[in-house]
Structure 1
């Protein structure tokens, strides 16, 4: 997996109900941005605010609507291994390229041990669909490099890694060095806030938001071709917007851009997530305008 792999936001109507037609437009916009792939039902998709029935509806809607135009990853994280396995099977049946999941956790105190994490990944791997392990601070579970390498070596389907912990570049470098050919796709995340350092460390791509995926890809490609100077030049152009997204807006940024661009009609986020404050939103849009992203003109 190389290039940009944006997480698709989940649009809602102003009353909080799912906007299924808007979801289809979000996917079309991502495809038209030139993204290399897409991830659905991730944290930036507000997966923690969706019911189980809504997750199943969105999994079916997204994979059928994409129709293989670009590969899709389905996030299946859950504390219960049986639930994660069932979600993996559905994703495989519908043609997903891979599934992504964090280590099992439920709140601050219920966390999988290294062995329990290994066993959950092993069970999901038996479904026969490639796995991307998401190493994210949200889980509160530390995934040391030796555990990640062990899973890559001993579980055939563990092939891809999204590393977005503090010091991601150092961890990526160690993971690639120790895991060798078993580390098929080392990606970074967190909207690309540490993208340059992570690419220097060996990341093959970035799982970003759907705000400016075409610009994220324009950093990855020249870097992969050995033209680091061009990558640095492009990264410098987008970093103010990426920083504002990462530090001020979170997953609300992509929705704001897509409302501005006519992709979706509402940037509603379900309670208890507060709406994006107007000054923060205005600053975001101001930073994005010079970039003229697809997300802000696709529906105009």
Structure 2
């Protein structure tokens, strides 16, 4: 198996809020500390699972600075910089680099269902950010609605030096990862999957070197990646089968609210509040989440107790 430069588990940090809707900065520090203790290989902030679409520009600035300063080199930090406007993406990437981020993550330019960048515009936006000189992870997810065929991704990998990582979480992710690795070659330095690792084994078999999950159970998912990369597929398969029911419930029933509810249960943060129009989890959905997690004994359920 290729020895990729980027590998392991790089989860998304949730953004905790107080019950009045303000950002819980002390809780954010505790989230980051918990993730470091979960043994993560990196931490991503301000992603969709961080509720970036509910956060103001001023709050983004606060969270970027707080997170990088508080992690203080204990793990590499990825800052999500996605925006439709290329100038804003570039400014966010420049700030992330100046503050000490290791990587920036970005989706192709889109705004709503019908305002989407074409292949040329997508290439140009990533090229502009690449000129800033910080490694880039491209996020290929259905949310953008932008078609990113493998030939385009491979061309971007070859021609944009700083585009090094690819988070593939579209339908049929394994097939796309396999094709991207074959066509992109050495220019693809970090083929990752996402979507809470619900397709992780298939994606690892296809050549993925890492995964970007939520912060719910990275201490249990990380070993699956490490076992597979070490050549012990059976151990990886057994570990994956053990955690898959919880991942499925997270992916299909809870979304980004799952990690926050687990962190409340384990005393990491004091509130699972999500800003309107996001509704709270139904009590039965939350109860089943905790029911599925408890037998796994993840660190999140005991970290703050």
Cα offset, 1:278, TM superposition:
0.2
What does 1:156-171 correspond to in 2, within 5 Å?
156-171=161-176
Match status 1:186 vs 2:191: yes
Match of 1:98 in 2: 103
**Residues of 1 paired with 2:302 and 2:147: CA distance?**
40
Secondary structure of 1:273 counterpart:
coil
Match status 1:50 vs 2:59: no
Q: Deviations over 1:71-128 (max 9, x none)?
A: 0100000000000000000100011110000000000000000000000000011110
Q: Deviations over 1:176-208 (max 9, x none)?
A: 000000000000000000000000000001100
Q: Deviations over 1:280-300 (max 9, x none)?
A: 000000000011111111100
Cα offset, 1:45, TM superposition:
0.2
Match status 1:113 vs 2:139: no
Cα offset, 1:218, TM superposition:
1.1
Match status 1:24 vs 2:45: no
**Residues of 2 paired with 1:218 and 1:10: CA distance?**
25
Match of 1:201 in 2: 206
What does 1:116-135 correspond to in 2, within 5 Å?
116-135=121-140
Q: 1:288 aligns with which of 265, 288, 293?
A: 293
Secondary structure of 1:209 counterpart:
coil
Q: 1:143 aligns with which of 145, 148, 157?
A: 148
What does 1:257-296 correspond to in 2, within 5 Å?
257-296=262-301
Secondary structure of 2:192 counterpart:
strand
Number of residue pairs the alignment of both structures matches: 300
Secondary structure of 1:83 counterpart:
helix
**Residues of 1 paired with 2:203 and 2:229: CA distance?**
12
Q: Which ranges of structure 1 fall in alignment gaps of 5 or more residues?
A: none
Q: Which ranges of structure 2 fall in alignment gaps of 5 or more residues?
A: 1-5
Cα offset, 1:44, TM superposition:
0.2
**Residues of 1 paired with 2:298 and 2:26: CA distance?**
21
**Residues of 1 paired with 2:35 and 2:57: CA distance?**
25
Match status 1:68 vs 2:83: no
Q: Deviations over 1:141-167 (max 9, x none)?
A: 010001111111111100000000000
**Residues of 2 paired with 1:104 and 1:230: CA distance?**
39
**Residues of 2 paired with 1:236 and 1:183: CA distance?**
28
**Residues of 2 paired with 1:212 and 1:231: CA distance?**
15
**Residues of 1 paired with 2:147 and 2:26: CA distance?**
38
Cα-Cα RMSD = 0.4
Q: 2:260 aligns with which of 242, 249, 255?
A: 255
**Residues of 2 paired with 1:230 and 1:102: CA distance?**
33
Secondary structure of 1:36 counterpart:
coil
Match status 1:88 vs 2:93: yes
**Residues of 2 paired with 1:215 and 1:195: CA distance?**
13
**Residues of 1 paired with 2:213 and 2:75: CA distance?**
16
**Residues of 1 paired with 2:296 and 2:92: CA distance?**
37
**Residues of 2 paired with 1:16 and 1:286: CA distance?**
28
Q: 1:298 aligns with which of 281, 298, 303?
A: 303
Cα offset, 1:47, TM superposition:
0.2
